Structure 1
Amino acid sequence: MISRSTIDRVFETARVEEVIGEFVQLKKSGSNFKGLSPFSEERTPSFMVSPVKQIWKDFSTGKGGNVVSFLMEQEHYSYPEAIRYLARKYNIEIDEIEQTDEQKHQADERESMFLVSEYARDYFQNIMFENEQGKAIGLSYFKERGFTDEIIKKFQLGYSLNEWEAFTSEALNKGYNLKHLESTGLTIVKQDILASNGTKQFDRFKGRVMFPIHSMSGRVLGFGGRILTQDKKAAKYLNSPDSDIYHKSNVLYGIHYAKQTIAKEDNCFLVEGYTDVISMYQSGIHNVVASSGTALTENQIRLINRLTKNITILFDGDAAGIRASIRGIDLILEQGMNVKVLMFPDGDDPDSFAKKVSNEELKEYLNNNSQDFINFKVSLLMDEAKNDPVKKAGLIRDIVISISKIPDRIQQEVYVQECSRIMDISESVLFSELAQINNKVKRDAAKPSYKPNRPDPNEPPLDVLYPEAFQVQKTSKFEKVDELKKYEREIIKILLLYGNNEVDFVDFVAGEDSTSGDFHSLKKEHFQNVVSKEIYLNLQDDEIEFTDETFKHIYYDVIHQLNQSESISVDVLVNHPNSEVSTLVTNILMDDEKHVLSNWDRKDIVVKSKESDLSKMVLDAIYNLRRVLIEQKINSLITNVKDENEREQILESVVNYTGLKQRLFERLNRVV
């Protein structure tokens, strides 16, 4: 268990904008940063980071918090995992408190799988550098590929001995659980009635060089293994199976090493294999990732989209691979991203070409030879069409279909003009074809996914079969606003944002008008007080208790801080161990910054400062809270009349409370 002092040091040292900047491309916006949400498919920024407050908020999903909560959302870390990640990043030594046997027993299954994977990475690497077979086969292979010791160690490459149980036996001897060895796919377990325990286990990656596959934050998710023998029955490359920590369709090889350069250079090179990534990286091209031999998926594209809007696909000379990647281009366009394509000469792939030329020549080739996807498609497919009008028409239609995938209408028009120029065909024909494709997409989307049959008289109605669905339709639209919770939240918001401010307040006193004889509120002179103290005194006088448990928790913490130091430290609440408290505090703090996303300053729209009317905001919140409580009291009195003897007494109380409510309305400048 991590000590409290270590956690405090982590929060004091970690910078939320630095950590999030490794996962999301952030751009300066006033005193804050903004970017695209990593949790939703958006095309306009709604993700905001506040360096001053050390918090973040994703307005598209409502998520928010501090630097630790971001890692928990982004990387699915547990709280201790996030603290350990930050401690490693900022070179903070972790003080451990001894765990009990019960706490060890409750260790998270995912963490156990991560630990097994990290042990395997170290084991395979050690075998390659220390074991004779590892050096003779594994290390020799990587050296022959031209990889330096530095790059081999950076990518944590290794070797799995060509023995059936070498890794599994060693891992079991080290105390790792066979269940986790199997769930990560490192060990294959099969039933065997001849075995003493009824099962037989062996290493999945026997006799292969190993490529660890990392998450964006650098944790080992799984492995790729390449066989070095000429066994035709065995797959050349073998990947870890999907598990609780590894889903190959959600992962890009090399993303951990490439993320910072991708964001910095605002471009990502996409290649096919592990060695392509490593060779390019060794040659100075660090913003490169691979789809690891799988067809490009939407989730993989979204990983890149968090860092940049620009992808350059690097093709080798393999025709099948090129056609598969062409299908991936449409997926990239659908995400609103910009695609360029590059072919290497003489049938080279990124790996072989990077070894043929110098680092400067490689960079120059990449800069000068990438082309727009339309030019690429035309140059690739025109040879097939040649002078055949039917094939040429098919090629044009294929390009227009790609253009239709682009969500931005202006970009669509630009690409249509480019296609018209290259293919020597009128823009009107292309626009007409584009309109037909777009209309067909709309019609298909509007069609029901099935044709309902006539209802079976013996089958219960839908609202009986699925009551939850119908309940939502009936109630959600007309859900009543909880006024009490609304004003409790408003008071907590004022305490968090302005609790330490000292402002002028106006006191009121009840009196009788000398002319009309009406009873109403009269103003007194101004006085100064700290916002938090004024709120505390008012709530204390009325003996008001918060009804919402989280609001109550925050309020008591604020009062405790005031008693200790006479000021409120929002950082303590942002980094609160209770996640409900820290999330609510972050949401309140970042909601106050939401107007920044609209760029009102650039539109010459002046946003009025709330501090200019702070005293009214404070008193309005208090008066409204009192008003709602009085209304609830009146309703309670009216509904609880049991007999005639009580009626007169209750009626008198109702009249008194109504008078109080009347004076509150006057103070709020409202008409009853």
Structure 2
Amino acid sequence: MISKTTIDQVFETARLEEVIGDFVQLKKSGSNFKGLSPFTDERTPSFMVSPVKQIWKDFSSGKGGNVVAFLMEHEHFTYPEAIKYLAKKYNIEIEETQRTDEQKQEANERESMYLVSEFAQKHFEKMLWETELGKAIGLSYFKERGFTQETIQKFGLGYCLDEWDGFTKTALDKGYKLNYLEKTGLTIVKENPQNPNDPRKFDRFKGRVMFPIHSMSGRVLGFGGRILKTDKKAAKYQNSPESDIYHKSKVLYGIYYAKQAIAKEDNCFLVEGYTDVIQFVQRGIENVVSSSGTALTSEQIRLINRLTKNITVLFDGDAAGLRASLRGIDLILEQGMNVKVCTFPEGEDPDSFAKNNELEEIQQYLKENSKDFIQFKAHILAKESANDPIKRAETVRDIVQSISKIPDGIKREIYVQECAGIMNVSESVLFSTLAQMGKKDRTEAAKAQKEEQKAFNVVKNDATIEKVDVQYELERKIIELLLLYGSETEEFEDLILKESEEGDLILEPLSIEAKVYEKIFLDLQDDEIELANEKFRNIYYKLIEALNQDEKFQLNTFLSGLAQDMVGEISSIMMEEEKYVLHNWERKDIFPKDKKLGVAQLVSETILTLRCFLIKKRMLALQDNTKGGEGDHRDTLEEIMNYIHLNKLLNKKLNRVLS
């Protein structure tokens, strides 16, 4: 268990905007920061971070919370793991007891897979440095590639001994379950006809040097293994199979080491292999990642898009590789990103070029040889079409097809002009072709929208459609007022129900000074009102207790002691109005009123509205009691009349006209 003192220190020290900034590119937006959602596919920012409140809200997915909630959502950490991650980031010493066997068993399946993967990484690293075969084979290979000891240790490189089940036996002896060894792909399990209860077990990566693949936060997701002996039957590189924690289409090799450099340099170099990444980083160029031998995917591009809008694709002069890369470029353009391409001299790749040149020479080469995608694509395709007019026409159409992927209209027009100059084709023809492509896309989009509209109409005409829950919204507003202004002192106009000289009931105003939380608590207590929503009720009592105990109420401290579902709910409430900031109303000369200007009025109106709602609810219940039954209902009817009169008085105070 981690001590509360340590947890409090973590929450006091950690800065939400810094932690999230490691995963998402944030831009200042008033007193907040905004960025692209890390949970959904989007091109306009809907992700808001509040440094003042130390909470975040993703309006596209509905998720939100504090710094720990972000790590739990994004990196699938458990609560203790998120605390440990933050402690490590901010150099906070953390004490924890050794996990017992029972605690290991209680860990969920996904967490068990992470634990197995982390154990495997440490085991392979140990084999590399501490066994004779590891040093003679694995370490020798890495040193031949030019990797220093510091680099090998930084990337956690290792070696799996050339034994059928050496790793598997060690893992089982340490208490790790075969089930998780198989699910992570570290162990291959096959039936044993001779003994069905004792299946045959093989190390997937036997005899291979190991490249651990990390998540953005540094968790081991899987491995890439390279075989060193010549074996025509075995693949040169082998990756971990797909699992609950490893999806190769959503992972970039090196992103954990590169994320801060990518954001700082506002550019990401994209290469093909593990050694390309490692060699570049060793030379001093850290903003580099690899798709790890798989075709580039939209999910991988979005991972980069959170950190920068600029990608420079690096590859050697291999023709087949270049053609494949062109497809990747179109995917990058679709995400609204800026693409440059740099090829290396014949016979060189990023690995060898970085190994054979100094940092300054590499930087100079990249600067001078990085071409805009349109120049690169035109150059490659033009060489292929040569003097064949038909192929040349296809080349032009191919380039225009890429331009059509760009969401920004101004960029599209500039690229059309550039393409016209390179390919010696009139701009009008290119714009006409682009328009045809756009028309086709719009027709397909309109068709899809029409189908959606049909579905919407079905919902719209559904008599069972849910109406706004007034009580839910009012209770939510009460929680918001306590969170925002609970400890502030305001002057309120209290209402005292009295009988006038004529015998009529009237509301007499009385000015009082009180803290916001005291006013809300006393009003609800006087009316014997308890919040109906269980989640709001739990938050309400915890808030009242915290505000009563601590005059200097701190939201961050309060959130640190709550369950994560409560934290998520509170962040949704606190950040609800921040989504309007995303629309930049001020640019349109629309200035929303600051709620803080009328806190007392807002509190009073919310409580009055809740009273009116509950009075109306009570009247309807009393009316139902008088229907269809025999007997004397005079007392009930008198009570209803009193409620009607009180309701009129309250609505008059709220400046509402009752029908």
TM-score (normalizing by structure 2): 0.94
Alignment of 1:123-272 (within 5 A): 123-194=123-194, 197-272=197-272
Alignment of 1:267-278 (within 5 A): 267-278=267-278
Partner in structure 2 of residue 546 of structure 1: 531
Task: State the Cα distance separating 1:574 from its structure 2 match.
Answer: 2.4
Partner in structure 2 of residue 427 of structure 1: 427
**SS class of match (1:503):** strand
Partner in structure 2 of residue 481 of structure 1: 468
CA distance in 2, matches of 1:367, 1:211: 30
**SS class of match (1:42):** coil
CA distance in 1, matches of 2:307, 2:328: 18
Task: State the Cα distance separating 1:446 from its structure 2 match.
Answer: 5.0
Go from structure 1 to structure 2 and tell me whether the alpha carbon gap of 1:597 and 1:448 turns closer, same or farther (over 3 Å shift): closer
CA distance in 2, matches of 1:52, 1:563: 22
Task: State the Cα distance separating 1:562 from its structure 2 match.
Answer: 3.8
Partner in structure 2 of residue 491 of structure 1: 478
Q: Is the contact between residue 252 and residue 290 of structure 2 (CA under 8 Å) also seen in structure 1?
A: yes
Partner in structure 1 of residue 634 of structure 2: 648
Instruction: Name the count of aligned residue pairs.
Output: 653
Go from structure 1 to structure 2 and tell me whether the alpha carbon gap of 1:267 and 1:575 turns closer, same or farther (over 3 Å shift): same
Task: State the Cα distance separating 1:573 from its structure 2 match.
Answer: 3.9
Go from structure 1 to structure 2 and tell me whether the alpha carbon gap of 1:645 and 1:173 turns closer, same or farther (over 3 Å shift): closer
Which of residues 529, 534, 537 is equivalent to 2:522? Answer: 537
Partner in structure 2 of residue 461 of structure 1: none
Q: Is the contact between residue 342 and residue 366 of structure 1 (CA under 8 Å) also seen in structure 2?
A: yes
Tell me the percent identity: 61
CA distance in 1, matches of 2:464, 2:635: 40
**SS class of match (1:339):** strand
Counterpart of 2:36, as a letter, is: L
Task: State the Cα distance separating 1:620 from its structure 2 match.
Answer: 0.3
Which of residues 587, 610, 615 is equivalent to 2:595? Answer: 610
Partner in structure 2 of residue 578 of structure 1: 563
Does the alignment pair 1:556 with 2:541?
A: yes
Go from structure 1 to structure 2 and tell me whether the alpha carbon gap of 1:384 and 1:548 turns closer, same or farther (over 3 Å shift): same
Alignment of 1:264-303 (within 5 A): 264-303=264-303
Go from structure 1 to structure 2 and tell me whether the alpha carbon gap of 1:111 and 1:511 turns closer, same or farther (over 3 Å shift): closer
Go from structure 1 to structure 2 and tell me whether the alpha carbon gap of 1:231 and 1:42 turns closer, same or farther (over 3 Å shift): same
Does the alignment pair 1:365 with 2:365?
A: yes
Task: State the Cα distance separating 1:25 from its structure 2 match.
Answer: 0.7
Task: State the Cα distance separating 1:118 from its structure 2 match.
Answer: 1.2
Partner in structure 1 of residue 330 of structure 2: 330
CA distance in 1, matches of 2:525, 2:237: 70
Counterpart of 1:386, as a letter, is: A
Counterpart of 2:110, as a letter, is: R
Counterpart of 2:483, as a letter, is: L
Partner in structure 1 of residue 655 of structure 2: 669
CA distance in 2, matches of 1:644, 1:651: 14
Task: State the Cα distance separating 1:470 from its structure 2 match.
Answer: 11
Q: Is the contact between residue 330 and residue 405 of structure 1 (CA under 8 Å) also seen in structure 2?
A: yes
Task: State the Cα distance separating 1:229 from its structure 2 match.
Answer: 1.2
CA distance in 1, matches of 2:456, 2:98: 49
Q: Is the contact between residue 36 and residue 45 of structure 1 (CA under 8 Å) also seen in structure 2?
A: yes
Structure having greater relative contact order (Cα 8 Å, sep ≥ 6): 2
CA distance in 2, matches of 1:607, 1:509: 33
Partner in structure 2 of residue 114 of structure 1: 114
Partner in structure 2 of residue 465 of structure 1: none
Encode CA deviations 1:129-179: one digit per residue, 9 max, x unaligned.
121111111111111111111111111111111222221222222222222
Task: State the Cα distance separating 1:633 from its structure 2 match.
Answer: 0.5
Counterpart of 2:484, as a letter, is: L
Go from structure 1 to structure 2 and tell me whether the alpha carbon gap of 1:588 and 1:444 turns closer, same or farther (over 3 Å shift): closer
Q: Is the contact between residue 459 and residue 465 of structure 2 (CA under 8 Å) also seen in structure 1?
A: no
Encode CA deviations 1:45-104: one digit per residue, 9 max, x unaligned.
221111221111112222110011101111122222222222222233333357676544
CA distance in 2, matches of 1:100, 1:176: 13
CA distance in 2, matches of 1:553, 1:470: 38
Does the alignment pair 1:23 with 2:41?
A: no
Q: Is the contact between residue 317 and residue 344 of structure 1 (CA under 8 Å) also seen in structure 2?
A: yes
CA distance in 2, matches of 1:505, 1:45: 39
Partner in structure 2 of residue 460 of structure 1: none
Task: State the Cα distance separating 1:190 from its structure 2 match.
Answer: 1.2
Structure 1 range deviating more: 246-255 or 53-62: 53-62
Encode CA deviations 1:416-475: one digit per residue, 9 max, x unaligned.
1111121111111111111111222233445589x9xxxxxxxxxxxxxxxx99996655
CA distance in 2, matches of 1:4, 1:61: 31
Alignment of 1:46-61 (within 5 A): 46-61=46-61
Go from structure 1 to structure 2 and tell me whether the alpha carbon gap of 1:469 and 1:338 turns closer, same or farther (over 3 Å shift): closer
Partner in structure 2 of residue 43 of structure 1: 43
CA distance in 1, matches of 2:407, 2:512: 58
Partner in structure 1 of residue 398 of structure 2: 398
Encode CA deviations 1:362-398: one digit per residue, 9 max, x unaligned.
0111122111111101111111211221111000000
Task: State the Cα distance separating 1:517 from its structure 2 match.
Answer: 9.4
Partner in structure 2 of residue 388 of structure 1: 388
Encode CA deviations 1:18-61: one digit per residue, 9 max, x unaligned.
11010001122232222111112222222111122111111222
TM-score (normalizing by structure 1): 0.92
**SS class of match (1:589):** helix
CA distance in 1, matches of 2:314, 2:93: 42
CA distance in 2, matches of 1:419, 1:355: 36
Q: Is the contact between residue 550 and residue 580 of structure 1 (CA under 8 Å) also seen in structure 2?
A: no
Partner in structure 2 of residue 620 of structure 1: 605
Q: Is the contact between residue 23 and residue 307 of structure 2 (CA under 8 Å) also seen in structure 1?
A: yes
Go from structure 1 to structure 2 and tell me whether the alpha carbon gap of 1:58 and 1:396 turns closer, same or farther (over 3 Å shift): same
Does the alignment pair 1:629 with 2:614?
A: yes
CA distance in 1, matches of 2:562, 2:458: 36
Q: Is the contact between residue 490 and residue 514 of structure 2 (CA under 8 Å) also seen in structure 1?
A: yes
Structure 1 range deviating more: 316-325 or 211-220: 316-325
Go from structure 1 to structure 2 and tell me whether the alpha carbon gap of 1:99 and 1:659 turns closer, same or farther (over 3 Å shift): farther
Q: Is the contact between residue 56 and residue 571 of structure 2 (CA under 8 Å) also seen in structure 1?
A: yes
Which of residues 478, 485, 501 is equivalent to 2:488? Answer: 501
CA distance in 1, matches of 2:258, 2:599: 47
CA distance in 2, matches of 1:252, 1:446: 35
Go from structure 1 to structure 2 and tell me whether the alpha carbon gap of 1:469 and 1:405 turns closer, same or farther (over 3 Å shift): closer
Partner in structure 1 of residue 90 of structure 2: 90
Go from structure 1 to structure 2 and tell me whether the alpha carbon gap of 1:90 and 1:568 turns closer, same or farther (over 3 Å shift): closer
Counterpart of 1:308, as a letter, is: T
Partner in structure 1 of residue 341 of structure 2: 341
Q: Where in structure 1 are there 5+ consecutive unaligned residues?
A: 452-467
Encode CA deviations 1:292-339: one digit per residue, 9 max, x unaligned.
110011111111111111111101121111111111111111111111
CA distance in 2, matches of 1:291, 1:412: 27
**SS class of match (1:176):** coil
Q: Is the contact between residue 258 and residue 289 of structure 1 (CA under 8 Å) also seen in structure 2?
A: yes
**SS class of match (2:234):** coil
CA distance in 2, matches of 1:260, 1:569: 30
CA distance in 1, matches of 2:160, 2:147: 18
CA distance in 2, matches of 1:233, 1:207: 14
Encode CA deviations 1:566-614: one digit per residue, 9 max, x unaligned.
5644334423432232112111222243343334455554332212211
Q: Is the contact between residue 191 and residue 200 of structure 1 (CA under 8 Å) also seen in structure 2?
A: yes
CA distance in 1, matches of 2:198, 2:596: 74
Q: Is the contact between residue 561 and residue 569 of structure 1 (CA under 8 Å) also seen in structure 2?
A: no
